[in-house]
Structure 1
Amino acid sequence: MAYNLPPLSWLRAFEAAARLGNFTRAAEELLITPAAVSYQVRQLEQQLGYPLFDRVHREVVLTRLGQTYLPSVEKAFSDLSIATVSVFGERHRKPVRFRCLNSFGQLWMIPRLRAFQDAYPEIDLQMISASWAEVLNPELFDIDVRFGDGAWTDGAVEFLLNDPIIPVCHPDLALDPGQRDLDALAGAIRLDIMGVVDTWESFFRSFAHAVPPRNGLQVDQSLSALELAARGHGHALVLQTLALPYLEDGRLIRSSPSQLKSRHSYFLVTSGPRQALSPDAQLFCDWMIREMRS
């Protein structure tokens, strides 16, 4: 999209001169000469076709059109400043940027972030959510929390946690205690998560049980499977770490005491050795490792 805008340097000279009421003080703020400020303001006036200032001796006074234009220019610079700091952080206080899978971020990370902020109030964090493991881009984030086999070559990989996989359901869907749990599960409605390696088929085969046909919804994230299970749509097979918030508040119960060892694990991926990260990023990694392994 093409914007009908004057050069930003001209707008900066106009805003500073209008705010300070003097080309000399504006020049001191902008680190240029008063003549340069005067030139840029005149260029702006010529492009707009209207005067913005009345020159009164060494002071400048806004014309009526200048008074009308100034609030919009001030707001534009304010919005740019806010957007720049929110995305990139202040130069003296850069945030620790990390990426994690959406389900992990919502169900494990967010409930614990207050504890980190209370312990380290001087460290700002920026969390980026992802649906799948992607190549690490150190220009966008410092730390990547991934779930997989650990065979990535785009950064330093450090094991975090191997989590068991458990079946869960709404309390109203509790299996008949008089029936063998795996037989009951085989006949129940089950929710499938697409793209995972540890499926219901893997679960039943690990206990030498006949694999039943699919009979429920398919979703692309554990969070969706857990939400559906909590609403009584069927049994979900998910990582224990992700199910814990639902189990603790009673929205879900375990469908069966049986569990499956996951073939994938959580890993920490950084662009180089963890010791080469910024001190704030190292503190965040240390905290996360303690939390996960506890």
Structure 2
Amino acid sequence: MPEFKIAEDPPAHDGHDASLPPRNAIPPFAALRAFDAVARLGGVRKAAEMLSLDHAVVSRHLRAIEAWTGTTLIERTRTGVLLTEDGLRYHKRIAVAIDTIASATIDLMKRSDNNRLHTWAMPGFAFHWLMGRLSVFEASNPGLDIELRPTDMCPDFARHEADVDIRFANAYGPPLSLPPGVRSVEIARMPTVPLASPDYVARSPDIERPEDLLGHALLHEESYDGWSAWLSDHGVTNQEALSGPRLWHGHLTLDAARRGRGIALGNHLIAADDIAAGRLVEVGAGLFEHIPLGAYLFVARADRWNAPQIARFRHWLLAAVAAEVPTALATKCLVTAGHR
């Protein structure tokens, strides 16, 4: 019988040459990393501290890479080091490669690490809602290492600064800009309402129209934009008298409201515990139209959207929020949102 041979599949082409680069084209990685650290941090001692090396070792690596390339990359000065023009050009190119290696490695590590969940969240949502309920999720996910960081900053998902981010997307001002490669889902779109302590309401003039709020102590976050948008949505165009302290964070304005300092903007999600305990009341309840000024979003990398710990947290969060949103408020909110 004739002998049959099975041809091997040709090697896959991904745009890269299958041959290895020349050996002398790649310096020792320890030397490259030391040079990169010195270039980024601007000093040998800072680089040594970051790399957990003796500064003499870092200096030796620098001399080694200069000898390898036959080029002076760094100028030593009395105050530190400076990159030469060749050094600047070289570092610009290798820094991209080092970042790519780091990102690819972290991606690989994350794919097999399902026991950690790093969450960033808006401070108001983190303090006033999530912290009081996170133990429920922890109890149903034993062994999961959860880290929660309240912050107004958005994480760099490309560098894996967080697995999940919970943001508030305002319906006014510049739109929330999400980075490429992420996916989001709306958690809740609650009507924004004025909130104050019962004591403040009892000792203050009655409020019958939205314009009446201008005569009260209004509590603002980082700017007047929130109150300005709320008043505009309720037909108040004369806002020259708009004033009051700017406290930069939603949880601070709610705390100030609890202490009787004035009226803050919030919603029945983050203020639920305070309203239930009688620490806060909705000012002018039933007088004003329920209008949402934005929505809470759950954001994660698209390629990790269904990672076990991220998917479990997302499903729990959506269900927990839905269970607490008052039906009447949600209905009014949806009807109002349809006319915006």
Normalised by the length of structure 1, the TM-score is: 0.62
Aligned: 1:167 with 2:194: yes
The range that moved more, 184-193 or 267-276, is: 267-276
Amino acid at match of 1:290: A
* 1:96 and 1:281 in contact (8 A); partners too: yes
The range that moved more, 135-144 or 233-242, is: 135-144
Q: For residue 11 of structure 1, what is the aligned residue in structure 2?
A: none
Q: Secondary structure at the match of 1:125?
A: strand
Q: For residue 291 of structure 2, what is the aligned residue in structure 1?
A: 261
CA distance in 1, matches of 2:266, 2:197: 14
CA distance in 2, matches of 1:178, 1:276: 51
Q: For residue 284 of structure 1, what is the aligned residue in structure 2?
A: 313
CA distance in 2, matches of 1:152, 1:195: 22
Count of aligned positions: 210
CA distance in 1, matches of 2:312, 2:199: 43
CA distance in 1, matches of 2:189, 2:219: 22
Change (3 A) 1:122 1:252: same
* Match for residue 100 of structure 1 among 111, 117, 121: 121
The range that moved more, 249-258 or 124-133, is: 124-133
* Match for residue 222 of structure 1 among 250, 254, 260: 250
Change (3 A) 1:241 1:146: same
Change (3 A) 1:178 1:200: closer
Aligned: 1:152 with 2:178: yes
* 2:222 and 2:249 in contact (8 A); partners too: yes
**Displacement, 1:100?**
0.8
Normalised by the length of structure 2, the TM-score is: 0.54
* Match for residue 120 of structure 1 among 141, 145, 155: 141
Q: For residue 83 of structure 1, what is the aligned residue in structure 2?
A: none
Change (3 A) 1:196 1:269: farther
Q: For residue 193 of structure 1, what is the aligned residue in structure 2?
A: 221
Q: Secondary structure at the match of 2:271?
A: helix
* 1:229 and 1:235 in contact (8 A); partners too: yes
**1:1-294 alignment runs, 5 A limit:** 94-137=115-158, 139-148=160-169, 149=175, 151-154=177-180, 155-174=182-201, 180-194=208-222, 199-209=226-236, 210-211=238-239, 213-257=241-285, 258-273=288-303, 275-277=305-307, 279-294=308-323
Change (3 A) 1:130 1:188: same
CA distance in 2, matches of 1:262, 1:133: 22
Change (3 A) 1:132 1:260: farther
CA distance in 1, matches of 2:290, 2:304: 31
**Displacement, 1:252?**
1.2
CA distance in 2, matches of 1:178, 1:96: 47
Change (3 A) 1:285 1:158: same
Structure 2: unaligned runs, 5 residues or longer: 1-44, 55-108, 170-174, 324-340
Q: Give a deviation string over 1:200-249, Cα, whole Å, max 9, x none.
A: 22222222234351232111110010011111111111233222222111
CA distance in 2, matches of 1:274, 1:238: 32
Amino acid at match of 2:132: P
Change (3 A) 1:218 1:92: closer
Q: Secondary structure at the match of 1:240?
A: coil
Q: Give a deviation string over 1:87-144, Cα, whole Å, max 9, x none.
A: x99x977311111112211111110011112222232211122123344345222111
CA distance in 2, matches of 1:234, 1:127: 30
Question: RMSD of the alignment, in Å?
Answer: 3.0
Q: Secondary structure at the match of 1:192?
A: coil
Structure 1: unaligned runs, 5 residues or longer: 8-87
